[in-house]
Amino acid sequence: MKRAKVSLGKKRSYNIAIGHKITSSAKDLIRGLRLGKDAVIITNPAILSLHKNAVMRGLRRASLDISTIKIPDSEKSKSNRQVIKIIDSIVKMDKGRGIFIIALGGGVVGDVAGFAASIYKRGIPYIQIPTTVLAQVDSAIGGKVAIDLRSAKNLVGAFYQPRLVLSDTSFLRSLPMRQIRSGLGEIIKYGVIKDRRLFKFLEENIKNILKLDKASLEYIIYRSSRIKAAIVEKDEYDKKGIRAQLNFGHTIGHALEASCGYSKLYSHGEAVGIGMVCASEIAVKMGLLNAGSAKRIIELIKKAGLPTKISRKIKIEKIMKAQSYDKKIIHGVNRFVLPVKIGKVKVFEDIPKKLIYETIRKRYA
Ligand SMILES: NC(=O)c1ccc[n+]([C@@H]2O[C@H](COP(=O)([O-])OP(=O)(O)OC[C@H]3O[C@@H](n4cnc5c(N)ncnc54)[C@H](O)[C@@H]3O)[C@@H](O)[C@H]2O)c1
Ligand SMILES: [Zn+2]
């Protein structure tokens, strides 16, 4: 088991435990939190049927009295209706001794369960047990919890840190390969923004990683978690421009997702992959990054099995328009996180529209 920590002072710091089958030996970590005996797992039926035994075995060792709330397996679960339903159920289970939440699942479960934890009785503790690569390296860490409104994703939310993150890499074995590759997109992102060594490890071990080799998975999830933790420590509330570095590849990535209506055409990680390719090419054209480094980034994205080309089904005008609605645009000025070398990015403003347009245009299949 590897451990990382999010240090946010005495009361709000928490551990991130990472490793194969760690849920079964997590009892000391859980007991150490002194959250009481009453826990409610929030998850979806698919995840529960796949991993119920392993999770229950581990949690019962921590002598917990466990209830379960199942929510539908869909982004639609990140809704105000679902949050109220969750809270109504918790009210019936809460014996007044102080119940806490265990979010077992991907980013959808983590976001909605964390949000419910943040508002029920003005905040009760919660633990994240992320079960997708994306959730283990990104959404479960850092306390951003939210639901969607019809007008935009993640519009209603809070900063509300979990008390523990248990990233059991054995749960990733049941994930569809497309999900694994998608999560790898975020891990490549961490390599480019902060960690040359992680990037090199990915280049050299991508085949083993795609075979879900235990030690490699543990290592890359550990390194990524550490980077996310360090960034959150420095800029918990996303106010200092440090957390913004995590948006590398996300400006064009989000525009791509939005312009295909969040359909199955591109998953988040796939869209971010293309976004990273475009951002790297923009950086080269602006003289910020050498062409060799951009080539390495693009090659690694390809080797991870992520697309680097844009489907002709999406019109370039739609992508440009979606981008102009991006929340990273402030007073009409766009903001891009661009690599200056592998392991370092900077935030740039007001990138010429023509340069963005031409870069995207050349990415069409
Ligand atoms: N809070 C944050 O900081 C943050 C950061 C990034 C993304 N997000 C949010 O995360 C969400 C996306 O998360 P995601 O990519 O994990 O998607 P997801 O939660 O929808 O999970 C993807 C699919 O995988 C299934 N699944 C989960 N674990 C599995 C397992 N171990 N085996 C088999 N199937 C499994 C789920 O049931 C689902 O069908 C979005 O709502 C996004 O807004 C939040
Ligand atoms: Zn992302």
The predicted-structure confidence for 233-257, as pLDDT tens digits, reads as follows: 999 999 999 999 999 999 999 999 9
CA–CA gap between residue 245 and residue 337 (Å, rounded): 6
pLDDT confidence of residue 332: 75
Q: Which residues form ligand 1's pocket by a CB distance below 6 Å?
A: 44, 46-47, 50, 73, 75, 78, 105-109, 111, 131-132, 134-135, 138-139, 142, 144, 153-154, 171, 174-175, 179, 268
pLDDT confidence of residue 44: 98
CB 284, CB 317: distance < 8 Å: no
Q: Is 5 helix (H, G, I), strand (E, B) or coil?
A: strand
Residue for token digits 């019109």?
315
Mean pLDDT of 205-212: 98
Kindly report, residue by residue over 283-324, the tens digit of the pLDDT.
999 999 999 999 999 999 999 999 999 999 999 999 999 988
Q: Where in the chain is the domain with CATH 1.20.1090.10?
A: 206-215+217-361
Q: Considering every ligand atom, which ligand is closest to the CA of 52?
A: 1
Neighbour tally for 354: CB within 10 Å:
8
Six-digit token pair at 282? 């923009």
CA–CA gap between residue 184 and residue 255 (Å, rounded): 20
Q: Which helix (H) or strand (E) holds 67?
A: strand 65-70
Amino acid at 312: R
Output 105 or 261, whichever has higher pLDDT. 105
Q: Which helix (H) or strand (E) holds 69?
A: strand 65-70
pLDDT-derived band at 279 (thresholds 50, 70, 90) equals very high
Closest Cα to atom 10 of ligand 1: 107
pLDDT-derived band at 25 (thresholds 50, 70, 90) equals confident
Closest Cα to atom 27 of ligand 1: 106
Instruction: Please tell me the distance between residue 149's alpha carbon and the centre of ligand 1 in angstroms.
Output: 18
pLDDT confidence of residue 329: 66
Q: Is 235 helix (H, G, I), strand (E, B) or coil?
A: coil
Q: Where in the chain is the domain with CATH 3.40.50.1970?
A: 2-173
Q: Which fold has domain 206-215+217-361?
A: Dehydroquinate synthase-like, alpha domain (1.20.1090)
Alpha-carbon dihedral angle through residues 180, 186, 187, 189, given to the nearest 10 degrees: 150
Kindly report, residue by residue over 28-52, the tens digit of the pLDDT.
999 999 999 999 999 999 999 999 9
Q: Which fold has domain 2-173?
A: Rossmann fold (3.40.50)
Task: Compute the mean pLDDT over every residue in the chain, rounded to the nearest whole number.
Answer: 95
Alpha-carbon dihedral angle through residues 136, 138, 143, 147, given to the nearest 10 degrees: -100
Q: Is 351 helix (H, G, I), strand (E, B) or coil?
A: coil
Instruction: Please tell me the distance between residue 108's alpha carbon and the centre of ligand 1 in angstroms.
Output: 5
Helix 177-194 and helix 214-234, axial crossing angle in degrees, nearest 10? 50
pLDDT confidence of residue 146: 98
Number of residues assigned to the chain:
365
Q: Which helix (H) or strand (E) holds 55?
A: helix 45-61
Mean pLDDT of 178-198: 98
pLDDT confidence of residue 261: 82
pLDDT confidence of residue 327: 64
pLDDT-derived band at 6 (thresholds 50, 70, 90) equals very high
Report CA Rg, the chain.
20
pLDDT-derived band at 24 (thresholds 50, 70, 90) equals confident
Q: Is the pTM of this model over 0.95?
A: yes
Instruction: Please tell me the distance between residue 288's alpha carbon and the centre of ligand 1 in angstroms.
Output: 34
> Could you tell me the end-to-end alpha-carbon distance of the chain, in angstroms, rounded to an integer?
43
Q: How many angstroms separate the Cα of 113 from the Cα of each of 53, 123, 157, 160?
A: 21, 12, 11, 11
Instruction: Please tell me the distance between residue 34's alpha carbon and the centre of ligand 1 in angstroms.
Output: 28
pLDDT confidence of residue 152: 86
